[in-house]
A and B are shown apart, each in its own frame.
Chain A
């Protein structure tokens, strides 16, 4: 696979754009050339080695997400890097909510133990009570969380 180095302007950033810019500061950005437009974060200390390498690589660095049309679909892992930079889009869920979410299901309002002041239909970072990042959701009008992506993907993918 081939990759090109790009600037952050090439990525259509969504409502976590400000946080992503902060995360991306420490990295060079690589965009896969071809049908799939996957974006990887290359740490500065890996860059020297990367520049010396034969470029037919499979992947390098940290998988940040994929550009699909005018959307940037962030990876389940990038959310974890966004969390420390965010103070207004977080939702904490209890153990029951955690289990459901990691099974790919939505979370009922009653499983939410606390949350930031979040507007309806906004994307949210879902955490458990130990502050582990579980995935990304959308705050519905009802106060329930719609599952967008979650770490249970690693298990479901195996099946």
Chain B
């Protein structure tokens, strides 16, 4: 069973009940299914599938992403094939394929990704844009942005401009964006299934700090997004303060929450810790290890 702080477990009991918490903790200790996303900038889905299956890969389609597959079985390490090195696919969790898919950026549009490293969503967006238009990627962390650069190169992306900066100051670019991706920095509770030590780092302070950063990023996003423009907000954490309550703030600011195209996932919390939220928030979706067999994930589509 995965280890979480007593603080985290107490909160899960309040939000999910004892049985739900037990299921969550059990599921969080299991191994996460590996998944890949095909990079159609370099190869077709059909061709890559054929090639990997010939190499002994057993692939199962991810239902919410045409380019996505779970790797049920493989003779080789997923990250060491010629196809991986050639940039034909990206190793990406199945839920992380949702934001770019939902944002659905088109060739020629100008897109901002506010926390872009290590590049799973940026390279996905660029693929959907057919390498046309522009995607501006920002990340504050110098080590992570080097990883982003390496992934951008491997995947053959060329419509990107990368900044090493805090996206809270995105106005400095002087651009109004058609679309924005914000996979926000978060407490990462949902990542425990991938990284077990993460559960021991969940504290109130961490949640409050992240919530403050997320609200600031949403505020900036509103300023730099074109009128009528779309933003997809996501996190890989459970805390309502980093999810539903951030949406509440976004609504107060002027954003409208839109229905997702996604047919999967569970509804978000309606009144977490007794806070009654606007009904619009229910259009967001949550993914849970014990319900969906994925990492924990939260996603919402907003329109200015």
Residues of A within 8 A of B (CB): 41, 43, 45-46, 49-50, 52-54, 56-63, 75-77, 80, 98, 102, 128, 130, 132-134, 151-152, 154-155, 157
Contacts and interface: CB of A to CB of B under 8 A. Distances in A.
B81 to A, nearest CB: 10
A57 B161 contact: yes
Contacts of A62: 153, 156-158
Interface in B160-187: 160-165, 172-175
16 contacts: A45-B108, A46-B161, A49-B110, A49-B161, A52-B175, A53-B136, A53-B173, A57-B161, A59-B149, A59-B160, A61-B161, A75-B153, A102-B82, A134-B82, A155-B80, A157-B150
A112 B134 CA distance: 41
Interface residues of B, number: 34
Contacts of A46: 133-134, 158-159, 161
Contact of B158 (A41, A54, A128, A157): A41
Contacts of B152: 59
B85 A45 contact: no
Interface centre among A53, A59, A75 (most CB of B within 10 A): A59
A77 B160 CA distance: 16
A61 B156 CA distance: 10
B133 A155 contact: no
A151 to B, nearest CB: 4
Q: Which 6 A-B pairs give the minimum distances between C-beta atoms?
A: A62-B158, A49-B134, A151-B85, A60-B161, A58-B162, A58-B164
B139 to A, nearest CB: 9
A124 to B, nearest CB: 18
Determine the main DSSP class of A at the interface with B.
Answer: mixed
Given A102-B85, A157-B150, A45 B145 contact: no
A107 B263 CA distance: 50
A157 B144 CA distance: 14
Interface in B112-163: 131-134, 136, 145, 149-150, 152-154, 156-163
Contact of A63 (B131, B136, B153, B173): B153
Contact of B173 (A54, A76, A102, A128): A54
Given A102-B85, A130-B51, 4 more contacts: A76-B153, A132-B86, A154-B85, A155-B85
B52 to A, nearest CB: 12
Contacts of A43: 131-132, 158-159
B79 interface: yes
A45 B133 contact: yes
A49 B173 CA distance: 10
B163 A45 contact: no
B133 A60 contact: no
